[in-house]
Amino acid sequence: MRSMTGPRIDVVYRLRVAPEQAAQRARLLAIEQSIEMPPEAVIDRRVLDDVLAGVERIERQADGTSLAHLRLAAETVCDDAGQLMNMLFGNCSLQADVELVDIEFPSSTAQAFGGPNLGIDGLRRLTAAFGRPLTCTALKPIGSTADHLAGLCRSFAQAGIDLIKDDHGWANQRSAPFPQRVAACQRAVREANAAAGHRAVYAPSLYGTHTQMQRQIELARSHGIAAFLVAPLVCGVATFSALRREHPDLAFIAHPALGGIARIAAPALLGKLFRLFGADAVIFPNHGGRFTYPAATCQDIARNNRAPWHGLRPALPVPAGGMSVERVPELKREYGADSMLLIGGSLLVARERLAERSRAFVEAVAAVGEATP
């Protein structure tokens, strides 16, 4: 078996083919995700030795699928996040019989991307929340006025919620354009914090291109905002990675929108890749809500977010998607203190009693004795 000189990325794909076809399928996949042409047509020997991806082994699964372990040459990735996605799953995302299951990176790649700026410890310092999960809520619905959102911010901050974020659907809607929205929300949070002695943090949602997001960050910084919500697959992972690198003092919360589109296993995409690219916190659809990820998948996402990994800071897993105040004890038991619990609609259903329900959320999370360390 030839050796690939230079660092390599180890990738596991699930092949949905008859077991006797798995070896050939894996060979074709290795070609597709590297040189993308018949190897017999390659004239440059070095390309065949160092660039053509290889098949390490194939493991037949009980369900009839096969797990193919491939090695990809790190040089094809050039330390660019978009290019990493391209090489991992660009063309084969268009093939129905392949799924991306897991990835392991060499240290050089991990260092090149760098992981979270703040990580869990940094988020705790930012929100002054220690020894328990962080609490988070979302400003909904889109289409609201900036005044309405500011009112929500006041209630949430007064209640002691740690992080108040834009709903991921906020961009620059005319009902509350970005400049007005962030000014109004940040002011409301700041005033409520001062009155109540709290440390709530407001995180607006960024939209558009890297260039546009830089301008939004600049404007938000001028209001003292230090945390942002981004959907890496919507804006492009290279954009997300660049923002994180360019703003080492800011917190970036990743939202999984558009993440189901390419058949990348959630523990790889949300657990590892989002952390690699720099998410300080990773929102994921928890089981039992509006989404149907199995509990084991959710546990794997959280584990990949937090596990020791090439010295990258851990990311805070954020189970979400229809969570309720009533589930807080269960969420604490399942995810432990190093998590952030995101509850949106379940607070807002309280309507005029929003403040009371928000306080109930905060108190349920702060209650001693229920978090597994």
Segment 98-137, which members bind its own copies (CB under 8 A)?
A: none
Looking at the DSSP bridge assignments, the partners of residue 58 are 68
Please give the distance of CA 328 from its chain centroid, rounded to a whole number. Answer: 21
Q: Determine if 263 is a binding residue for its own copies (CB under 8 A).
A: yes
Using the contact rule CB under 8 A, the part of the chain among 112-120, 140-148, 155-163, 364-372 near its own copies is: 140-148
Angle at 301 between CA 349 and CA 231, to 5 degrees: 60
What residues are paired with 13 via a beta bridge?
A: 68, 100
Separation of alpha carbons 270 and 103, rounded Å: 12
Grouping H, G, I as helix, E, B as strand and the rest as coil, residue 64 is coil
- Does residue 61 interact with its own copies by CB under 8 A? no
CB of 109 to its own copies, least distance (A): 14
Which residue type does 186 have? Q
24 touching its own copies, by CB under 8 A? no
Do 52 and 34 form a contact (C-beta atoms < 8 A)?
yes
Query: Binding string to its own copies for residues 334 to 353, with x set by CB under 8 A, is what?
Result: ----------xx--xxxx--
Tell me, residue by residue from 27 to 46, as one string, x for binding to its own copies by CB under 8 A and - for no binding: -x---x-xxxxx-xxxxx-x
Asked if 274 is part of the footprint of its own copies (rule: CB under 8 A), the reply reads: no
Q: Please state the closest distance from residue 3 (CB atom) to its own copies, in A.
A: 16
* Candidate list 78, 194, 296, 367; residue touching its own copies; CB under 8 A: 78
- Examine residue 238 and tell whether it contacts its own copies (CB under 8 A): yes
Q: Which is nearer to its own copies, 216 or 339 (CB)?
A: 216
Residues 288-327 that bind its own copies (CB under 8 A): 290-293, 321
Of positions 27, 95, 219, 329, contacts its own copies by CB under 8 A: 95
Q: Total number of residues binding its own copies (CB under 8 A)?
A: 86
Gap between the Cα atoms of 122 and 253, Å rounded: 13
Shortest distance, CB of residue 95 to its own copies, whole angstroms? 6
| Residue 76 engages its own copies in binding (rule: CB under 8 A) | yes
Q: Which residue number, 90 or 336, has a Cβ lying nearer to its own copies?
A: 90
Q: Which stretch binds its own copies (CB under 8 A): 110-118, 123-131, 192-200, 203-211?
A: 203-211
Task: Give the one residue of 62, 211, 308, 311 binding its own copies; rule: CB under 8 A.
Answer: 211
- Are 282 and 317 spatial neighbours (Cβ–Cβ below 8 Å)? yes
**Residue whose CB is less far from its own copies, 130 or 209:** 209
Instruction: Return the structure tokens found at 241.
Output: 């990675």
* Angle at the Cα of 44 from the Cα atoms of 37 and 105, rounded to 5 degrees: 70
By C-alpha distance, which of 185, 244, 255 is closest to 217? 244
Rounded CA-CA distance 149/43 in Å is 62
Q: What are phi and psi of 174, to 5 degrees?
A: -70, -20
Closer CB to its own copies, 210 or 359, in the complex:
210
Tell me which of 210, 247, 310, 359 binds its own copies, using CB under 8 A.
Answer: 210
Q: Is 65 in the site for its own copies (CB under 8 A)?
A: no
Contact range with its own copies by CB under 8 A, out of 16-24, 62-70, 125-133, 165-173: 165-173
C-beta of residue 310 within 8 angstroms of C-beta of residue 105:
yes
Distance between CA atoms of residues 229 and 202, nearest Å: 10
CB-count burial class (<10 Å; 0-12, 13-18, 19+) for 236: middle
